[in-house]
Amino acid sequence: MGNEMKVYDVTIIGGGPVGLFTAFYCGMREMETKVIEFLPFVGGKVSYFYPEKVIRDIGGIPAIAGEDLIRQLEAQAKTFHPTIVLNQQVLGVEKVEDGTFVLTSHTGERHYTRTVILATGFGALKSAKLELENACHYEQKSIFYDAIDTSLNWTDKHVMLVGGGNSTVDWAIKLLPLAKQVTVVHRKNEFAGIGRNITYLKESDATIWTPSVLDGLHGDDVLTSVTVKNLESGERQKIEVDAVLVNHGFSIDGGHMKEWQLEFVGSNISVDSGMATNIPGVFAVGDIVTYPNKLHLISGGFAEGPTAANSAKAYLQPGKKLKPLYSTTYEKLQK
């Protein structure tokens, strides 16, 4: 059987904080684990909406920035080497005769798994795209959405960022020491976000165009220049660039889960005390679920993840009682 036909013990749909911690605990339960995330990076809403916002409601951590929390969760999730698939949204699920679930993504790829844990949050975050002619032609070649690979060589590159929120400001600051030139285009005169970062950006060597928008894209196979339009004067200027990073925000797509015959209460999936849905072998955790006294906190999801992992393991081993499992006594973590 080729790797594309490999059957995993559990597949977690969603790579946000709760999905990542669930992957770690599934690894402790010695289940072969796959994580499928729609975004090009893990972390979900935390990575996009508040990477620098300080989180204070997780036990034992007095304060931690969102991006630091995700960095630690990702490292923890990788302890047992799960397979992580990015840039895929699961659209369909089918249970075949032998009990295996076949998950089909928007790319057409099929994933095979014995159990499923849904950790999708309120839904897949889809990037707001540039509404310019030929924009899709340059995607992932010259135009990027929400994130850019800083490990690549940007030394001789002019990178333009479009947007005015936290993410744009943060990425501009990250790229300043890496790129030859950084330009920021924002439709308003004022930026939104953390004040000290905005001040740092304005006092840096970055070129800032406000209130302005992209008005044209130019180049054959690769983007070579853009037209920027000033919204007050109407003046247009053509600027040579090597890459454009767009941060226009997200829309939330609930996907096709309501077509999967799951039991919903409003917009949430109903689960029992073991985080089991009405479909045997399918479990759910995090913001997508509902049950009496549901706690919509990351720390609440951190309790639900191990519960779902235990339930998935029990489903795979019917009749076999699970022993309590703690990281402090787990032999493989003590070596």
- Provide the pairing of β-strand 7-13 with 33-36: parallel
d(CA 220, CA 327): 54
* Cis previous bond, 211, omega within 30: yes
Write down all domains in the chain, each with its CATH number in brackets: 3-125+251-334 (3.50.50.60), 129-248 (3.50.50.60)
Among 46-50, 65-69, 235-239, top mean pLDDT goes to: 235-239
Per-residue model confidence as pLDDT tens digits over 287-321:
999 999 999 999 999 999 999 999 999 999 999 99
pLDDT tier for residue 40 given thresholds of 50, 70 and 90: confident
**Average pLDDT estimate for 42-59:** 82
Q: Which helix (H) or strand (E) holds 190?
A: none
Amino acid at 33: T
**Residue 217 backbone dihedrals phi, psi, to 5 degrees:** -125, 135
Query: Other CB atoms closer than 10 Å to residue 140's CB: what's the count?
Result: 10
**Per-residue tokens: 177:** 């020491």
pLDDT computed for residue 167 by the predictor: 81
Of 290, 317, 287, 283, whose CA–CA distance to 301 is shortest? 287
Q: CA 53: distance to chain centroid?
A: 17
* Average pLDDT estimate for 76-94: 95
14-28, 31-45, 162-176, 237-251: which has the highest mean pLDDT? Answer: 14-28
Q: What is the pLDDT of residue 253?
A: 62
Instruction: Specify whether the CB–CB gap between 42 and 149 falls below 8 A.
Output: no
Structure pTM?
0.72
pLDDT tens by residue, 226-242: 999 999 999 999 999 99
Question: DSSP state, 103?
Answer: E
| Partners of 85 in beta bridges | 36
Lowest-confidence range among 60-64, 80-84, 125-129?
125-129
Of the candidate ranges 28-37, 53-62, 251-260, 269-278, the one whose mean pLDDT is the lowest? 251-260
Return the pLDDT at 47: 77
Tokens 């890459």 correspond to 243
pLDDT at 1: 41
Q: Find, among 70, 72, 71, 65, the residue nearest to 197 by Cα.
A: 65
263 — phi, psi (to 5°)? -85, 120
Check residue 230 and give its pLDDT: 96
CA distance 194 to 203: 15
Helix, coil or strand: residue 86: coil
| Coil, helix or strand at residue 180 | coil
Place of tokens 């911690």: 21
| pLDDT tens readout for residues 190-204 | 998 788 999 999 999
Which two three-digit tokens encode residue 30? 């010695």
Average pLDDT, the chain: 91
In DSSP notation, 250-293 reads: EEEE-TTGGGTT--EETTEEE--TT-B-SSTTEEE-GGGEE-TT
Higher pLDDT, 321 or 129: 321
Cβ–Cβ under 8 Å, residues 207 and 226: no
What are the residues facing 117 on neighbouring strands? Answer: 12, 283
pLDDT at 306: 97
d(CA 90, CA 86): 11
Residues in the chain: 335
pLDDT at position 122 is 77
Tokens representing 82 are 């799960």
pLDDT of residue 332: 87
Per-residue model confidence (pLDDT) at position 134: 85
Cα 297 versus chain centre, distance: 17
In the predicted model, what is the mean pLDDT of residues 44-65?
85
Residue 35, SS3 per DSSP? strand
